[in-house]
Structure 1
Amino acid sequence: MRISNLTTRLTKALESSIRRFPLTVLSAFATCITIIIMIEQKRDPSLTLQRLTMIFALSIPITLSFKLMWEKTGRDLKQLLIYYLTSIILIIGYYFIFLNKIDYISTSRFIGTNLIFYLVFLFIPYFLNRENFEMYSIKIFTGFFITAIYTAVLFFGLSAILFTIDSLLGIKVESETYIETWFVCLFIFAVNYFLSLVPKKENTFTKFDFPRAFNILLNYIVIPLLSAYTIILYIYFFKIIITQNWPKGLVSHLVLWYSFITILVVFFIHPIKEDVKIAYYFTKIITKIIIPLIIMMFFSMGIRINAYGVTEPRYYVIVAGIWILFVFIYWNITKQPKNTLIPSTLALTIFISLFTPLSSFSISRYSQNKRFENLLIKNNMLKDGKIQKNPNTNKDDQRKINSIISYFETRQGIDKLKYVPKDFNSSKMNEVFGFNYEAPYFPKEQYFYYRIAPNSLIDIKGYEYFIQLNSYSQEVQNSKEFSFKYYNSNSEIAIFKDNKEVYRKNIKDIIQSAYKKYGTFRPDIELKIEELSLVDENETLKVKIILNNVSGRVDDNEDIRVDGCDFLIMYSFKK
């Protein structure tokens, strides 16, 4: 009986979504069909099929948004036809103007346009003055998560059935069938079920509809976690200020996602903040103390841009940071904020970033061209607007020029790069620049491995004690009198006598000279003992340390990190 009731309820929900959003349901169905066709072809799909799949997928939020616009403004059938016709014209126009080819720019715009119309779908029913937008958004998000759970259960259930058919009945089920099943669950079931949960215009919400479970989750779990994370971020930034050591690319990620999550939390708790003390004080404090962190993020990105110019990812970080800063300033200066401005201004920001003269593509193209021009002038390679060969260009500038060439070839198109001949490509680097093209490779870390020859004869003359250790046995007590400890965090060895430290040394001092001579990963080379050893002494001990083998990583700043090592320690006490 319960299964029967659930089936009836799901059937009615699906029927309701089809009646209310027919074009959206049709778009989802078309997307599913074209994806399955691409999977079944088992080869690279044609450009036309890829474009059709993308435009059908984009049609889902576009038709959905236009239908909600009609529901907001009126119920006239003629007006509905105008809205539908407008959405269809927009879809066709986008297909021929922005999807005439598929490359980095068209794909970025496709993703951004989807985000814009999903945001429009979210705020349009409550734009501009309707109250309790936050409660409506909670209803939408709740519906999304319920749909996700149902879809996952349905997919795993169908997959179990297919697996059973394959395993027990001997009917071969191809691996592609599981993928196709997922897309059917996603575009046929999930889209239809979610649409059935979208509130109608006549549905109203108050703060008393705030879900109890959501209240507990935000106020007693998420807010304490965010508060702790804020403290850690401040400690981290104070450390950066003191050491003046800015980690590459890490700061923006730490702050950006944290800020987005904070905006969502403050947005959701807005209806109950006057009734719940935790929510009230969190909102009051976090909207102020987060601003210095955002400014620090701008400073960090400024260092990167000054060194490497603007690229699309850096542009998006800066623009996202500006939008985030705007939201928090708005919350601080407005006593009764209209939170529909949050998704609407975000949609506007995405539009500016993708489709205007201030887009990420335009700004990045200008920045990289300017950087390219400066490099040419610096190396006396630009005369009367034409590139002059210079085989003596230093290696660092060669790498920078190669990086810019690669950027334009993979993202903007080489025809957008100034000064190069019309038929230029990277294969003609030597002909045009006087040096060969090398595809840029930007590893965060490079690996090294050094060892001495096995069975090497070791001279222990002049030392009283001898012990062999490794970095995995971090603490060794080889007698009641002596003990040894290796600190993984900073690659230091310490010797203790009667539990009192009598010697400490960082083995990076040994590795540094080998790295300067041999560079990174060289497993085929066996080093001499002298090249991986160090003789040292202090007021208490005379010590010799020999590294049998050592592996680790070196970052862009040539800072060494040891992953593992085996080493010998010989020592004697001074009389």
Structure 2
Amino acid sequence: MNISNFTFKITKAFENSIKRFPVTFLFSLAACITMISIVEYRTSPPSTLQRLAMILILSIPVTLTAKIIWERRQEDYARLLIYYAVSFVFIIGYYFIYLNKLDYISTSRIVGSNIIFYLLFLLIPYFIDRKNFEMYSIKIFTAGFITSIYTGVLYFGLSAILFTIDRLLEVKINPETYLQTFFICVFIFAVNYFLSLVPRIKDNFTKDVFPRAFNILLNYIVVPLLTAYTIILYIYFFKILITQNWPKGLVSHLVLWYSFITILVVFFLAPIKEDVKIAYYFTKVITKAIIPLILMMFTSMGIRINAYGVTEPRYYVIIAGIWVLLVFVYWNITKETKNTLIPFTLAITIFISLFTPLSSFSISRYSQNKRFENILKRNNMLKDGKIIKNPNIDKKDKQQISSIISYFEYRQGIDKLKFVPSDFNSSKMKEVFGFEYEALYTPDSIQYFYYRIKQNSLIDIKGYDYFVQINSYNIDTTNMKEFSFKYNNSNATLYIFKNNILIYSKNINEILKGIYEKYNMLQKDTELAVDALTYVDENQNIKIKIILNNVSGRKGEDQTPTIDGCEFIIMFSIK
């Protein structure tokens, strides 16, 4: 195929996609523009803009689902307008109800909602008992795979052109341009090309058109690999049973992702399992052999939950494990399976875990509050619903209390933690509990942190002649008129030169140490007032104010903070 024919094919595909899904195209275009705008901010884009991007991205599968429902029912265009109107109402309502702020819960929900609507988009044309749903799914999967390859080639090609222009023609290309190019490739090219490959409702598929390459991939590569992996897992679990040494957090990852992949493989093999012996015997054996492994996973998670309570990640492992187990049980007890139930029940499972009273957030909040209460009672620190100071409790209990407080600050909000005063925050631990925060170290004794100034903060520049923003990610010297600035990552030191003569230097770790001693590291992401991240200094040459716009790093067992990255706001005057 020559270039002109390929260009014509792509153009025609785009034309067909936009004609069939015009509203989805508009939302995808809007999402692209919004993401490009966010990149322009470089750091700390407005929360409203981020939430707008999230809801626009969700609008893509929502409007797709509305159009697919209309195509399935073969109704008139007036009904299509109604479906779109309902979609718009849903999108607006979702934005104001579930996306009214940007935090861990709203982000988790938006990710889950996207998955739910993409599952519905896949499911609706064949729900509930239309035949050959697996073949239709293979077609969709193949379309996604081809689109990914084309998009990757397009992005890397455009990036190579930008890089060449930058380096050879000396036309400055900002690093942000590469990310913006990626968003254009994804939201403009990838979305539209993929939708051009989505089959029409009237299209029929049979097992006779099962892709030969896909057949070889599944039966002669994937199936042997999964078989070997299953054998290794059984050997591993027999070792666990003999030694009674349960690994921390590893078993769930070993089993859960393997179970998801196995479900996908068994699902894709369904059309040909009666004709291909490898597929038949693999399907028959694996759907039974995997069940004891899942039960072992539940045992491992039970040990973790008994020790540390339920958190959202552990909840997701449990509910995903329950769904996986039910799928395999269903395949074992049903002779004529309806595989449309697999994405349908997965969508329901995700909905339950995010939006119901049995959600991960509700269950985790209850579990961690109960664990908190038990620790306080065990140490005689709770009386009439109020916390009593006790600085002499066991170090392990101090660590557990600290980790619970960190969990609520980072995930749920400290106002959801029972018994603490209404104005409590992590800096008041000694005042409320009688002891400072006790870090529960990772196995490598490293704790990571991220400090940043509050969004939309007002910065006072009075009394200074110059203002500049630099970051530690660019170690090259930044030149501005007669001044130049350099940050050395190896020793975390900022240097300021005037006419190539050093007039000021400062080790940023020294600034950070004071912040750490005052505010500690109770969570991975801590938002502080401008004054808390401000350092004022002067010498015989310069009067300077340094604001750590954001700073990330880690602290080892020696308690010394180490900077991994930092962005500075610097104001100074020359004496």
TM-score where L is the length of structure 1 = 0.77
Paired residues in the alignment total: 447
Deviations 1:265-289 (A, max 9, x none): 0000000000000000000000001
Cα distance between partner residues in 2 of 1:88 and 1:131: 32
Q: Which residue of the partner structure matches residue 56 of structure 1?
A: 56
Cα distance between partner residues in 1 of 2:149 and 2:143: 10
- Note the C-alpha offset of 1:390: 1.1
Q: Which residue of the partner structure matches residue 230 of structure 2?
A: 230
Whether 2:14 is the aligned partner of 1:14: answer yes
- State how 1:323-472 maps to structure 2 within 5 Å: 323-438=323-438, 440-446=439-445
Cα distance between partner residues in 2 of 1:123 and 1:244: 43
- Note the C-alpha offset of 1:42: 2.6
Cα distance between partner residues in 1 of 2:135 and 2:440: 48
Deviations 1:517-558 (A, max 9, x none): xxxxxxxxxxxxxxxxxxxxxxxxxxxxxxxxxxxxxxx9xx
Cα distance between partner residues in 2 of 1:44 and 1:336: 54
Cα distance between partner residues in 2 of 1:263 and 1:184: 33
Q: Which residue of the partner structure matches residue 268 of structure 1?
A: 268
Cα distance between partner residues in 2 of 1:50 and 1:314: 28
Q: Which SS does the other structure have where 1:171 is aligned?
A: coil
- Note the C-alpha offset of 1:443: 1.4
Cα distance between partner residues in 2 of 1:406 and 1:169: 51
Cα distance between partner residues in 2 of 1:160 and 1:367: 51
- Note the C-alpha offset of 1:108: 0.5
One-letter amino acid matched to 2:366: Y
Q: Which SS does the other structure have where 1:445 is aligned?
A: coil
CA radius of gyration, larger in: 1
- State how 1:532-543 maps to structure 2 within 5 Å: none
- Note the C-alpha offset of 1:32: 0.7
Q: Which residue of the partner structure matches residue 244 of structure 2?
A: 244
Cα distance between partner residues in 1 of 2:445 and 2:419: 35
Whether 2:103 is the aligned partner of 1:106: answer no
One-letter amino acid matched to 1:58: L
Whether the aligned pair in 1 keeps the contact of 2:399 and 2:440 (CA below 8 Å) is: no
- Note the C-alpha offset of 1:442: 3.0
Deviations 1:362-397 (A, max 9, x none): 000000000001001100011111111111111111
Cα distance between partner residues in 2 of 1:170 and 1:419: 62
Deviations 1:282-314 (A, max 9, x none): 000000010000000000000000000000000
Cα distance between partner residues in 2 of 1:41 and 1:359: 34
Cα distance between partner residues in 1 of 2:78 and 2:3: 41
- Note the C-alpha offset of 1:164: 2.0
One-letter amino acid matched to 1:443: T
Cα distance between partner residues in 2 of 1:177 and 1:72: 41
- Note the C-alpha offset of 1:172: 1.6
Cα distance between partner residues in 2 of 1:292 and 1:332: 14
- Note the C-alpha offset of 1:75: 2.9
Q: Which residue of the partner structure matches residue 177 of structure 1?
A: 177
- Note the C-alpha offset of 1:436: 1.3
Cα distance between partner residues in 1 of 2:384 and 2:82: 56
- State how 1:36-55 maps to structure 2 within 5 Å: 36-55=36-55
Cα distance between partner residues in 1 of 2:440 and 2:64: 43
Greater Cα offset, 399-408 or 154-163: 154-163
- Note the C-alpha offset of 1:210: 0.5
One-letter amino acid matched to 1:222: V
- Note the C-alpha offset of 1:446: 4.4
Cα distance between partner residues in 1 of 2:168 and 2:305: 60
Whether the aligned pair in 1 keeps the contact of 2:400 and 2:440 (CA below 8 Å) is: no
One-letter amino acid matched to 2:69: M
Q: Which residue of the partner structure matches residue 197 of structure 1?
A: 197
- Note the C-alpha offset of 1:44: 1.3
Cα distance between partner residues in 1 of 2:41 and 2:103: 22
Cα distance between partner residues in 2 of 1:150 and 1:321: 35
Cα distance between partner residues in 2 of 1:164 and 1:432: 60
Deviations 1:168-196 (A, max 9, x none): 22222221111111110111000000000
Whether the aligned pair in 1 keeps the contact of 2:381 and 2:387 (CA below 8 Å) is: yes
Deviations 1:209-268 (A, max 9, x none): 100000000000000000000000000000000000000000000000000000000000
Greater Cα offset, 314-323 or 71-80: 71-80
Change in 2 beyond 3 A, CA 1:446/1:48: closer
One-letter amino acid matched to 2:282: F
Q: Which SS does the other structure have where 1:406 is aligned?
A: helix
Change in 2 beyond 3 A, CA 1:180/1:195: same
Q: Which SS does the other structure have where 2:201 is aligned?
A: coil
Q: Which SS does the other structure have where 1:437 is aligned?
A: coil
Deviations 1:496-531 (A, max 9, x none): xxxxxxxxxxxxxxxxxxxxxxxxxxxxxxxxxxxx
Whether the aligned pair in 1 keeps the contact of 2:391 and 2:434 (CA below 8 Å) is: yes
Cα distance between partner residues in 2 of 1:167 and 1:412: 47
Cα distance between partner residues in 1 of 2:445 and 2:360: 31
Whether the aligned pair in 1 keeps the contact of 2:42 and 2:176 (CA below 8 Å) is: no
- Note the C-alpha offset of 1:445: 2.9
Whether 2:93 is the aligned partner of 1:93: answer yes
Cα distance between partner residues in 2 of 1:368 and 1:326: 28
Whether 2:262 is the aligned partner of 1:288: answer no
One-letter amino acid matched to 1:296: M
One-letter amino acid matched to 2:270: H
Cα distance between partner residues in 2 of 1:320 and 1:83: 32
- Note the C-alpha offset of 1:437: 2.0
- Note the C-alpha offset of 1:43: 3.2
Q: Which residue of the partner structure matches residue 142 of structure 1?
A: 142
Whether the aligned pair in 1 keeps the contact of 2:123 and 2:344 (CA below 8 Å) is: yes
Show structure 1 runs of 5+ residues with no match. 448-555, 557-575
One-letter amino acid matched to 1:154: L
Show structure 2 runs of 5+ residues with no match. 447-556, 558-575
Cα distance between partner residues in 1 of 2:436 and 2:163: 54
Deviations 1:376-423 (A, max 9, x none): 110001111111111111111111001111111111111111111111
Percent sequence identity over aligned pairs = 73
Greater Cα offset, 338-347 or 159-168: 159-168
Cα distance between partner residues in 1 of 2:237 and 2:444: 23
- Note the C-alpha offset of 1:136: 0.3
Deviations 1:98-131 (A, max 9, x none): 1110001000001111111111111111111111
Deviations 1:37-94 (A, max 9, x none): 1112233111111111111011011111111011111231111011100111000000
Whether 2:250 is the aligned partner of 1:256: answer no
Q: Which residue of the partner structure matches residue 564 of structure 2?
A: none
Greater Cα offset, 421-430 or 273-282: 421-430
- Note the C-alpha offset of 1:441: 4.0
One-letter amino acid matched to 1:262: T
Whether the aligned pair in 1 keeps the contact of 2:207 and 2:271 (CA below 8 Å) is: yes
One-letter amino acid matched to 1:287: T
Cα distance between partner residues in 1 of 2:385 and 2:40: 52
